[in-house]
Amino acid sequence: MSLYLVTGGAGFVGSYLVRFLLDRDEEVRVLDNFSTGKRENLTEVESRIEVVEGDLNDPAALSRAVSGVDYVFHEAAIPSVPRSVEEPAESHEANATGTLSLLCASKEAGVRRLVYASSSSVYGANPELPKVETMRTEPLSPYAVAKLAAEHYCTVFHRLYGLETVSLRYFNVFGPRQDPNSPYSGVVSRFIDAILSSTPPTIHGKGDQTRDFTYVENVAQANFAACHETSAAGGVYNIGCQTRISVNELWANMAELTSSKLEPSYTSARSGDVPHSVADISAARRDLRFDPQIELREGLKRTLEFYVPVT
């Protein structure tokens, strides 16, 4: 049995990873400051895990969190493009400086490998599709800049200090426990909020922007593989489903599954958003043996069933 640290373990992806590890009888510790993560996300498993309450930039809490740890899943972040546009310094402190602090502590503690949750937003304004890890990055938001900076820190710590790191560029992750009430939520959770409140969903722009929506279980599988596949050390990988649909099509699917007759309300496009995105996952298939098992329609059905009846 190995000891895994999940930073941001009370958040959406983090809490899913906690359960994923417990299902495999692993030992789990969580570090979370509960600024965006929710304690209730861990209620049903809290007796089986250790929780360290604290911030990545708190040396005492961080030292306790990494002590004796074999592997780190680094999910802690302020995961919002709009919020980073409003508060760029806060985004940098949490997403870039916090990652550097964790890398330093992990190196000193003798952690075997750290898997970092990066973002497809690092590709930004580069119009080339699909997105390939070797292509030029052109971030459009402070959030994307911080995520990219943290990626580079991970790579340097691997090359310079021998700390094994893997960076995973997530493409629009969705699933149960993604907070639908947050103004910074992803579009799937915002659409769920609209369905729950019987309020027309808001779509930014024309709704023709496309995304590679990725169910959270696929992401958990990728993280676990990134911890243990030897050839992945030092790598950067796209984690998506290699398919894309428009936001309008996404709403049509969700409305059909819930028999919703709500009509979307359209508003201006958001600053920092990219028009189109889809992952090339060839490298992840090769090095991580990553093969996403849950396709979009099934992922939407599972997510909606967590909140509302589906047809």
CATH domain 187-210+244-277+297-307 topology: UDP-galactose 4-epimerase; domain 1 (3.90.25)
10: Cβ contacts below 8 Å, ≥ 6 apart:
30, 32, 34, 37, 38, 39, 41, 42, 51
Residue 143: both structure tokens together = 């959030």
Q: Are 78 and 90 in contact (CB under 8 A)?
A: yes
Q: Are 127 and 167 in contact (CB under 8 A)?
A: no
Whether the predicted pLDDT of 42 surpasses 90:
yes
Nearest to 239 by CA among 74, 151, 81, 119: 119
For 31-93, the DSSP string reads EE--SSS-GGGGGGGGGGSEEEE--TT-HHHHHHHHTT-SEEEE--S---HHHHHH-HHHHHI
Q: Are 277 and 208 in contact (CB under 8 A)?
A: no
Whether the predicted pLDDT of 202 surpasses 70:
yes
Catalytic member of 123, 143, 215, 237: 143
Note the pLDDT tens digit of each residue in 211-224.
Answer: 999 999 999 999 99
The single residue listed with the structure tokens 């060839």 is 282
- Is residue 143 annotated as part of the catalytic site, yes or no? yes
Note the pLDDT tens digit of each residue in 136-167.
Answer: 999 999 999 999 999 999 999 999 999 999 99
**How far, rounded to the nearest angstrom, does the alpha carbon of residue 134 sit from its chain's CA centroid?**
20
Q: CATH 3.40.50.720 spans which residues of the chain? A: 3-173+215-241+280-292
Q: CATH 3.90.25.10 spans which residues of the chain? A: 187-210+244-277+297-307
The highest-level CATH class for domain 3-173+215-241+280-292 is alpha beta
Taking the model in full, what pTM does it have?
0.95
Q: Are 153 and 102 in contact (CB under 8 A)?
A: no
Whether the predicted pLDDT of 184 surpasses 60:
no
